[in-house]
Amino acid sequence: MDKVVIVGVFDFVNFHLCKALLNKGIEVRGVQIETEENEDILVEKRLEIGRNSNFTEVSVKDLTNKSNEKETIVLSVYDLYMKYKENVLQNDFMKNHFLYEDNWDQIIIIVPIQLLGNEIESEANVFINDVINRKRNLNKNIQYLYLPTIYGPWQPDTFMFQHSILAGMDKGKGFRGMREETNDALFVDDTVESIIEVVEEKGPGKYLLQSGEKDQWDLCAAFLRIIGHPSSERTVDRMEDDIIKLTVNRSIPISEALTKQIDHTHRLYS
């Protein structure tokens, strides 16, 4: 994996993945597909990675006009879904160029665990199922990485954790409702390291990243003093037979990881 294209590069998980790849000396071309509501936050993210010589921000047109035979391409359906932006998946670029052309060397799709059972009706599920059906007989190198709740710096306020932090600063907005899965939770830095490991070392297939421990979401909520939270959109109670479960190594305690998120939020919004 020498060259990577990230679609939605300034979205939550994608942004951390981009930084991790750049730290490993991997060349990244990033395209933003207009999902960031706050222009100031977008500026901060551009400043954080824009000085790295291995990063280039490109337009959608640049991607559709270039041969991509030796590039890995990444799309985080997870980020779009958690920000209520999955309608982006139905635009002309996604339908006609991003995945339906066969000139990418490797395709990585990051998916919320809620979509595993195909029980949620959403444009995200329509898109994933369409990709699976179109690529089934092409023997393409496609990896689907399913994630539970991911937390850490830059988490959007559509997650309960970030909403709670902002509310404590009197910066919060109305909560749109519980969309995240509450059976498990992973720190974003650990998650992107595992994603890179899967991409580099594993073959095509479906992978579920998990903590391997009980009540991780509840432990995070307890640290943030979240009491009486609403139910999640769906509790995952069964997995498809072809899912490969992988345990993510935890680098720091929950308390330290969430403190990083709290401190970052205070610096950003104060």
- List the CATH number of the domain containing 210: 3.40.50.720
- pTM for the model stands at 0.90
> How much is the pLDDT for 234?
44
Query: Cα separation of 104 and 69, whole Å?
Result: 5
Position 30, amino acid: G
* Number of separate domains in the chain: 1
Q: 131-136: long-range contacts (C-beta < 8 A, 24 or more apart)? A: 131/99, 134/99, 134/100, 135/99, 135/107
> How much is the pLDDT for 239?
57
Which residues span the domain enclosing 177? 3-269
pLDDT one-digit tens code per residue, 150-199: 999 999 999 999 999 999 998 877 777 788 889 999 999 999 999 999 99
Helices 216-223 & 254-269 angle (0-180, nearest 10): 50
Mark the ranges of the chain whose per-residue pLDDT is less than 50.
Answer: 233-235
